[in-house]
């Protein structure tokens, strides 16, 4: 930064390069070359003002935009890497745009988006338009995006009335250009890893905390673990010690060392003076970090958490005459989300909040570990992962757009008409395995190891522990979820003019 007279000082090595930049001016890079004084004259960058910005129901040059609008290109989104949704790719890319992810479950990774913070109690999410049509961007393929504009203030969102009160996100997909056909193939993969934790260090930290508060609370000694007992968590003397003094790394036990995501994209674009086209197909697999296959549940099924999605898009523009263009867009996806019937919060809290010294996950006889305290916040993650059945959620979406653009310069210069007709279809279906949960408890047999090594068998409440038998599971056929089936018809007739109004001041 300079002072009011343009003077500045900076200490750098003699062979450095200085970069001078300012909004609206061309960036200059100058070699120091041992000089002690460098004068720079900034030159305005007119090309930046000619940049086209997508605004509500049209586009403008950057120099004529007075509202608060920011834009990011599709190529910039692809640099995010390792994300499965457009919303995740926006994270940290645009000023004033906040994204919050509440779950990493494959297929549910679309974050909540707030523009300039949350302004209302009831959600506060922005209006999202894809090629001018109100749609979700959760399952859009990032490779199909040409640009994204975010309209933030009232002057920019006024054309959308109350629907734009929380901001507007305009997504424009790629279209064909005149030229030879261009074929593009992209392959990518992502590796994800969890964190680690063990019993010995956890109890040692607890002991240290007790020692620090003893002057204020002498009762803390009751929770103190003697050193010889503490050592048995790390070095068990026999097989019984392994169960009485468990040292379970729940993250390591329930999750794989890493999970892999895969993505393959094939696109083609080109065109002539009459027809321009862009087409793309994409396959994406979001891997499972949970290691459900490591638990022998005795049920002959293995729940998993993953998401497979197949996207397709075809954007074709027909120039019927020099003033008439008909655009036909066909897009959609087919996705399959695998999971189980457990609540996300219970699964995550049982893994990350459960102390490693409470109980062993599964004993050799097939019984599950449990504490004496009946508290579902201390649920066994092995039970949640392997005995809650499995779900297979099918998602199908097909979008069709017909757009007619007609120039009406013969009436008045800059006048044009646009007609849009869109028809969207959304279907949801769910199947999987239904594992019963008798009498409100888990359909499993638990075992508790007391401090003296005594075993205690626990079965679901209201049943007899001597003759209890685990109830068999059933398979649910794929069923269409009528309450999530949706068909939407959208039509728009728009008359616009680009003629500049001329005024004079006397």
pLDDT in tens, the chain (506 residues): 788 788 888 888 888 899 988 766 778 899 988 888 888 888 776 555 455 666 666 666 554 454 677 888 888 888 776 677 888 888 888 888 888 877 777 888 888 888 887 766 666 788 888 988 888 888 888 889 988 888 887 777 778 888 888 888 889 899 998 889 999 998 888 887 765 555 556 667 777 777 777 776 777 666 777 777 777 666 777 777 777 777 777 777 777 778 888 999 999 999 998 999 999 999 999 988 887 666 777 778 878 888 999 999 999 999 999 999 999 999 999 999 998 887 766 676 677 667 777 888 888 888 888 877 655 456 788 888 888 888 899 999 999 999 999 999 888 888 899 999 999 999 999 998 888 877 667 888 888 888 777 888 888 877 777 788 888 888 888 888 888 888 999 999 988 887 544 433 43
What crossing angle do the helices spanning 227-234 and 199-213 adopt, rounded to 10°? 160
pLDDT digits (tens, 9 = 90+) for 135-170: 888 888 888 998 888 888 777 777 888 888 888 888
User: Would strands 474-480 and 390-407 be described as parallel, antiparallel, or unpaired?
Assistant: unpaired
- Contact between 25 and 43 under an 8 Å Cβ cutoff? The reply is yes
Q: Provide the 10 A C-beta neighbour count for residue 44.
A: 11
The two tokens of residue 455 are: 């075993």
Q: Provide the 10 A C-beta neighbour count for residue 196.
A: 9
**Which residues are registered as beta bridge partners of 338?**
306, 392
- As a whole number of angstroms, the distance between CA 473 and CA 300 comes to 10
Which structural domains are found in the chain, ordered by start?
1-49 (no CATH), 51-173 (2.170.130.10)
Residue 172, phi then psi, degrees to nearest 5: -110, 125
> Quick one: what percent of the chain has pLDDT higher than 70?
84
């Amino acid at each position: 930064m300079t002072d009011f007279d343009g003077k500045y000082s900076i200490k750098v090595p003699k062979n450095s390069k200085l970069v001078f930049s300012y909004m609206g001016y061309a960036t200059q890079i100058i070699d120091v070359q041992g000089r002690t004084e460098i004068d720079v004259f900034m030159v305005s960058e007119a090309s930046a003002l000619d940049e086209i910005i997508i605004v509500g129901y049209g586009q403008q040059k950057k120099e004529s935009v007075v509202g608060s609008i920011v834009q990011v290109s599709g190529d910039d989104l692809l640099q995010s890497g390792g994300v499965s949704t457009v919303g995740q790719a926006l994270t940290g890319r645009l000023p004033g745009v906040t994204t919050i992810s509440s779950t990493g479950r494959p297929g549910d990774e679309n974050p909540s988006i707030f523009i300039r913070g949350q302004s209302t109690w009831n959600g506060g999410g922005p209006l999202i338009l894809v090629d001018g049509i109100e749609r979700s961007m959760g399952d859009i393929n990032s490779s199909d995006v040409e640009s994204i504009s975010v309209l933030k203030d009232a002057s920019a969102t006024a054309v959308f009335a109350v629907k734009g009160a929380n901001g507007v996100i305009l997504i424009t997909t790629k279209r064909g250009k005149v030229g030879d056909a261009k074929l593009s193939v992209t392959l990518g993969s992502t590796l994800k890893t969890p964190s680690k934790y063990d019993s010995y260090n956890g109890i040692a930290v607890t002991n240290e905390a007790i020692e620090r508060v003893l002057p204020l609370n002498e009762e803390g000694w009751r929770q103190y673990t003697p050193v010889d007992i503490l050592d048995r968590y790390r070095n068990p003397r026999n097989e019984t010690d392994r169960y009485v003094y468990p040292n379970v790394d729940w993250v390591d036990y329930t999750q794989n060392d890493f999970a892999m995501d895969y993505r393959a994209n094939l696109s083609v674009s080109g065109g002539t003076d009459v027809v321009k086209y862009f087409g793309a197909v994409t396959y994406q697999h979001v891997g499972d970090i949970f290691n459900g296959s490591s638990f022998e549940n005795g049920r002959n099924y293995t729940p998993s958490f993953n998401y497979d999605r197949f996207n397709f898009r075809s954007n074709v523009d027909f120039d019927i005459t020099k003033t008439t263009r008909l655009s036909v867009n066909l897009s959609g996806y087919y996705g399959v989300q695998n999971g189980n019937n457990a609540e996300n919060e219970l699964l995550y809290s049982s893994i990350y909040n459960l102390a490693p010294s409470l109980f062993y996950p599964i004993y050799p006889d097939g019984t599950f570990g449990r504490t004496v305290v009946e508290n579902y916040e201390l649920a066994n993650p092995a039970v949640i992962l392997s005995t809650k059945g499995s779900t297979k959620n099918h998602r199908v979406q097909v979008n069709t757009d017909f757009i007619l653009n007609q120039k009406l310069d013969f009436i008045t210069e800059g006048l044009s008409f646009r007609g849009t007709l869109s028809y969207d279809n959304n279907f949801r279906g769910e199947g999987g395995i239904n594992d019963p949960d008798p009498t409100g408890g888990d359909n499993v047999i638990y075992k508790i190891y007391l401090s003296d090594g005594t075993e205690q068998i626990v079965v679901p409440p209201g049943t007899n522990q001597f003759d209890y038998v685990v109830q068999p599971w059933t398979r649910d056929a794929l069923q269409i979820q009528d309450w999530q089936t949706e068909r939407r018809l959208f039509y728009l007739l728009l008359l616009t003019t680009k003629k500049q109004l001329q005024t004079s001041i006397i």
